[in-house]
Amino acid sequence: MPLNSKIPAGPIDSKWKTYKATCKLVNPANKRSLEVIVVGTGLAGASAAASLGEMGYKVKAFCFQDSPRRAHSIAAQGGINAAKNYQNDGDSTYRLFYDTIKGGDYRAREGNVHRLAEVSANIIDQCVAAGVPFAREYGGLLSNRSFGGTQVQRTFYAAGQTGQQLLIGAYQGLERQVSLGNVEMHSRHEMLEVVMVDGVARGIIARDLVTGKLERHFGHAVLLCTGGYGNVFYLSTNAMGSNVTAAWKAHKQGAYFGNPCFTQIHPTCIPVSGDHQSKLTLMSESLRNDGRIWVPKQKNDQRKPSEIKEEERDYYLERRYPAFGNLVPRDVASRAAKERCDAGYGVGSSKMAVYLDFGAAIERYGKIEANKQGKPNLSKEEIIVLGKGVVKEKYGNLFDMYEKITGENPYEMPMRIYPAVHYTMGGLWVDYELMTTVPGLYALGEANFSDHGANRLGASALMQGLADGYFVIPYTLGNRLADDIRTKAIPTDHPAFVAAEKEVSDRINKLMSIKGTESVESFHKRLGKIMWEKCGMARNEKGLKEAIEEIKALRKEFWSNVRIPGDIDEFNPELDKAGRVADFIELGELMCIDALNRNESCGGHFREEYQTEEGEALRDDEKFMYVAAWEYKGEGQFELHKEDLNYEVVHPSARSYK
């Protein structure tokens, strides 16, 4: 099937306006007989379900946690971007569009990204109206900060809990629709199959995770808002339950997977402390507004950070990238940290860490505060006390989190940080309307591949999730369902539902019947190790080829030796996890295949064979200016389809942050 991205014709800034003015609409009476399934209630899913419910569609929403309020979006810390230009520092829709295209290393679609920038301002308006308590200035207006890869302050935030506040806002909107009867919420449910009727997605099979029962649910359309797949690496900053299962089932039903190898490794996370480690904790990018990153100039320096004098420190980001300094994009910052540690300059007991230091910021803020309070003659100690107060107000919860995990006080000594898997730019391929290659099946939020190219800028995932759910899908879904108003609800005893349910139940039975000797957790760890070492921050042909073979072998072993305790018809987290790990193993193989195919370095995808003399990523626009969309062709078999990327507005150039 040729890929049609359905980008509307016309100048970049009128595409979305034209689309909205000309798309088909569904009248209110007809909406009531149209059913929509929304899988996932993170920012993308909760905003979509609430908005569609308000519009009059009959919505069923699903999540695997005990409440929609607990989706992984809750953990987002730093902020959300919007081109409001409240700071009068030169921001505009165009600049947000440009920064995002450049930040994505010219591997994203111009049309989608411009739409994202256009609706960004509405998102902030919507959230404030819904009661999201963003940070404010003394004058009562909204406050902003900067994030990496930009030179303006366009990030809105709520201390270090922005995701929480945004999700609670969307969740409350969702619960309001539940109370009105417009949305039926199914929590502790996991979607395990897409049901296809005559080539169209018409429902799902879901498992009630409390009773273990399988359920059939019909929908005129199915929206997957199921988040990213960073946990394929075992260790990541994602919540423990985040998984690829929904997207992977869709992929096997015909939805192409876009750019699976594009993974974001976030530069500032708390380093691994031992084998028992179950997840990694992010220290928000917002900290790079005020924290300075350094390592000792001397190799293998054993001294305490406080004993290392200013001139003995290498502020390597400021040295290498003077224009952006500590605020270079994530891929660049992560690679630079790895380079220093690999070269022997790392700190801490593992030597796989660098310092993130707030000493200078504390002093600077202390002085400003002293002046504000009219006390210019305070001692250095007093100034530091004031400065700590300011830093506490900005980042207090992050500092507390750091101290709880490491037992060290970051107000007194620099944080130790190291890159960790954080986000996946890849995901289900979607067109401009957010529809996958399966008619009637949509993907929103981190689950799709659409807007971030090869590297996502900080504070843009929250923006994209809410853009998709609040402002895009309400239009694009109507454009399809307008032609579906004559389709009656399909009864769930239809053979397609019966067959899909049988498929799911056979697979569960098969998993339970293996009765091997190795735990699910152990397989997951082994997969993660292969992925991190061979498809992680740096990749090469040899390693990727090895990884593919190792993963194939791991899959065989899993299906012959996994041990799952307990029963099918009960609350059984080990069984839930087994299904997810089985899908991760298959995805891991595709990620390596994609990384092997892409003979260039771009954004988060760094192939060691393709770099400049200075160690920067070397793109190959001639050969690889395309989205790699993979079609599932049977176990371990994938066919590549290319969507060429046309840059009509921005001219791709070597991405420089120097």
Partner 1 sequence: MQHYNMNLTLKVWKQKNNKTKGGFETYPVKNVSSEMSFLEMFDVLNEQLVSEGKEPIAFDHDCREGICGMCSMVINGRAHGPWSQNTTCQLHMRAYKDGDTITVEPWRADAFPVIKDLVVDRTGFDRIIQAGGFISVNTGNAQDANALPIDKQKADESFAAASCIGCGACVAACPNASAMLFVSAKVSHLALLPQGDPERKSRAFNMVNQMDTEGFGSCTNIGACEAECPKGISLENIARLNREYIGSMMSGSSVEGTA
Interacting residues with partner 1 between 144 and 163 (CB under 8 A): 158-159, 161, 163
CB 277 → ligand FAD: shortest distance, Å? Answer: 15
The residue within the footprint of partner 1, chosen from 23, 87, 92, 130 (CB under 8 A), is: 130
Part of the chain binding partner 1 (CB under 8 A), chosen from 70-78, 109-117, 286-294, 443-451: 70-78
Task: Mark the segment that binds partner 1 (CB under 8 A) among 71-79, 104-112, 365-373, 527-535.
Answer: 71-79
Least Cβ distance, residue 609 to ligand FAD (angstroms): 30
Binding partner of residue 538 among ligand FAD, partner 1, none, CB under 5 to 8 Å per kind?
Answer: none
Residues annotated as catalytic (active site), given as ranges: 330
What is the closest distance, in whole angstroms, from the C-beta atom of residue 212 to partner 1 in the complex? Answer: 11
Amino acid at 333: A
Decide: is 100 part of the binding site for partner 1 (CB under 8 A).
no
* Residue 185 in contact with partner 1, rule: CB under 8 A: yes
The nearer residue to partner 1, 121 or 496, going by C-beta atoms, is 121
Q: Which is nearer to ligand FAD, 65 or 120 (CB)?
A: 65
β 562-563/221-224 pair status: unpaired
Binders of partner 1 among residues 231 to 270 (CB under 8 A) are 239-241
Helices (runs of H) and strands (runs of E) counted in the chain: 18, 21
Among 199, 344, 566, 615, binds partner 1 (CB under 8 A): 566
Tell me phi and psi for residue 21, to 5 degrees.
Answer: -75, -20
CB of 138 to partner 1, least distance (A): 5
DSSP one-letter string for 418-460: EEEEEEES-EE---TTSB-SSTTEEE-GGGB--SSTTSPPTT-
Over the range 563-572, which residues count as b (16 or more CB within 10 Å of their CB) and which as e?
Answer: ebeeebeeeb
Min dist. Cβ of residue 515 to partner 1 (A): 10
In whole angstroms, give the CA distance from residue 252 to residue 528: 22
Location of structure tokens 């069923």: 60
What is the number of other CB atoms lying within 10 angstroms of the CB of residue 160?
Answer: 24
Q: What, of ligand FAD, partner 1, none, does residue 62 touch, CB below 5 to 8 Å by kind?
A: ligand FAD
Closer to partner 1 by CB, 261 or 467: give it: 467
User: Helices 520-534 and 573-597 sit at what angle, rounded to 10 degrees?
Assistant: 20
Residue 558 beta carbon to partner 1: minimum distance, rounded to whole angstroms: 15
Q: Of 5-13, 72-80, 427-435, 491-499, which segment contacts partner 1 by CB under 8 A? A: 72-80
Other beta carbons within 10 Å of 109: 23
* Enclosing H/E stretch for 635: none
Q: What is the phi-psi region of residue 57: left when phi exceeds 0, alpha when psi lies from -120 to 50, beta otherwise?
A: beta
Q: Does 401 bind partner 1 (CB under 8 A)?
A: yes
Q: Closest by alpha carbon to 435, among 490, 476, 375?
A: 476
Cβ contact 445:425 at 8 Å: no
In the list ligand FAD, partner 1, none, the entry touching 39 (Cβ below 5 to 8 angstroms by class) is ligand FAD
Residue whose CB is less far from ligand FAD, 72 or 320: 72
Q: Which is nearer to partner 1, 125 or 635 (CB)?
A: 125
In 3-state terms, what secondary structure has residue 598? Answer: coil
In terms of C-beta density within 10 A (0-12 exposed, 13-18 middle, 19 or more buried), how is residue 198 classed? Answer: exposed
Closest CB to partner 1 among residues 349, 377: 349
